[in-house]
Amino acid sequence: MGTRGIQTAVVGVGGYAGMELSRLLLHHPRLKGVAPVFAGRPEAAGLSAGSPMALTAIHPRLMDNNGSAGLVVEPFSWELFASRGVEVLFLATPHEQSREWVPEALERGIRVIDLSGAWRLNDSSNRTVYKFEDEGSGAAVAVQAKSVYGMPELHRDEIREAALIANPGCYATSIILALKPLIEKGWVNLERGIVCDSKSGVSGAGKAPTAKTHFMYAADNLSAYGVFGHRHTGELLEQLHLAPEQIIFTPHLLPIPRGILSTIYVGFNQSMRPEQIQSCFDDFYKDSPMVRVFRDGELPQIQYSAYTNFCDIGFQLSKDGKRCVIVSCLDNLLKGAAGQAVQNLNLMYGWNEAEGLV
């Protein structure tokens, strides 16, 4: 129990992932009595005057009668973290911001769990949507080399030792976990092409009020976006070792607050039996407490995993055994963001992977 008392910090508390992360850390059994340092970008609304804000003024949901009342969000500064002895820094910030801050954090000996897309891709040619100014610089290459893709089910051992965790994208998590076991077996016909039709709740679009996050835009509606060009595509290619023409990923905006469902279509090189697919998933995830494999053609639904840190996976095979529909669901703010970040924290400190998450 010498591991109690780890001092964490959360930057970017104002967003939805930041809120969930704050909630999880405040209730984490291993962090009792050590509230995170909460910080925001100095230019963030309410912090621009340089003075701290009450956490519960930003997120009334976090109110309770015994603790959160006194918590404040302070403007980001390295001095703040140094004076509090921060060991682990969670960045729930835009990727440009994470890109800037991570190198210094590592230099200062602070471990980082970055929820943005800043350090997820080893091959920058997969970064088709956003580019960074420091791309290709020696410093950036060195930091990227230290970065571990924070998906415990694939990289558990590296996460334990990592100085920098690139926490995966929400869509990417739902797709990679559904495909990895089958692709690894060599069963999937990659020539035929994999189709990933994903649907996400509006919290995935961020907290900034925009035309597309307006209630009147999203409600009673469904819309596809980012067709052939979503920025999570690079993660799919790297983690699944695919070429761009082998996979199509189309995200859609669902009229619900949270949750992702990905419907994934694969063809097989030969006719498969359901038991083979079932065993493949069961075996792959037998030691992964946060993945629930469904059986007997039962398929996950968004509401089963919403408000949990589980990723649910089910499948249905065609009669001829040559085509398969895989359905994968998760909560985009938990397993798709803050929950997976805490899962990584647990691994980094040798705790039970699911602690504080169930």
Report 278-297 residues binding its own copies (CB under 8 A).
Answer: 288-290, 292, 297
Catalytic pick from 170, 280, 311, 324?
170
Q: Which x/- pattern, by CB under 8 A, does the window 109-128 give for its own copies?
A: --------------------
Catalytic status, residue 311: no
From residue 244 to residue 263, the character string flagging contacts with its own copies as x (rule: CB under 8 A) and all else as - is: -x--x-x-x-xxxx-x-x-x
Given the rule CB under 8 A, which of 60-68, 150-158, 164-172, 232-240 is the region that contacts its own copies?
A: 60-68
**Within 320-349, which residues bind its own copies (CB under 8 A)?**
320, 322-323, 325, 327
CA nearest 100: which of 142, 146, 133, 138?
133
**Closer to its own copies by Cβ: residue 147 or 173:** 173
- Residue 64 is a binding residue for its own copies (CB under 8 A): yes
Q: Which two tokens stand for residue 336?
A: 């798709």
When asked if residue 216 is in the footprint of its own copies (CB under 8 A), the reply is yes
Q: What is the DSSP letter of 36?
A: P
Contact flag: residue 63 with its own copies (CB under 8 A): yes
| Beta carbon nearer to its own copies, 85 or 229 | 229
Beta bridge partners of 293: 313
- Angle, helices 16-26 vs 339-348, to 10°: value is 40
Quick one: which of 1, 49, 145, 211 contacts its own copies (CB under 8 A)?
A: 211
Report in angstroms how near the CB of residue 316 gets to its own copies at its nearest.
4
b/e map of 7-37 (b: 16 or more CB within 10 Å)? ebbbbbbbbbbbbbbbbbbbebebbeebbbb
* Choice from 37, 112, 302, 342 touching its own copies (CB under 8 A): 302
Distance CA 245, CA 248 (A): 7
- For residues 136-195, which are near its own copies according to CB under 8 A? 192-193, 195
210 binds its own copies (CB under 8 A): yes
**How close are the terminal C-alpha atoms of the chain, in Å?**
20
104 sits in which H/E element = helix 95-107
Q: Dihedral (C-alpha) 263, 209, 333, 60: value to the nearest 10 degrees?
A: -150
Return the residues of window 24-43 that contact its own copies according to CB under 8 A: 27
Nearer to its own copies, 15 or 169 (CB): 15
Contacts of 2 (CB under 8 A, 6+ apart): none
Distance CA 167, CA 230 (A): 17
Catalytic residues: 170
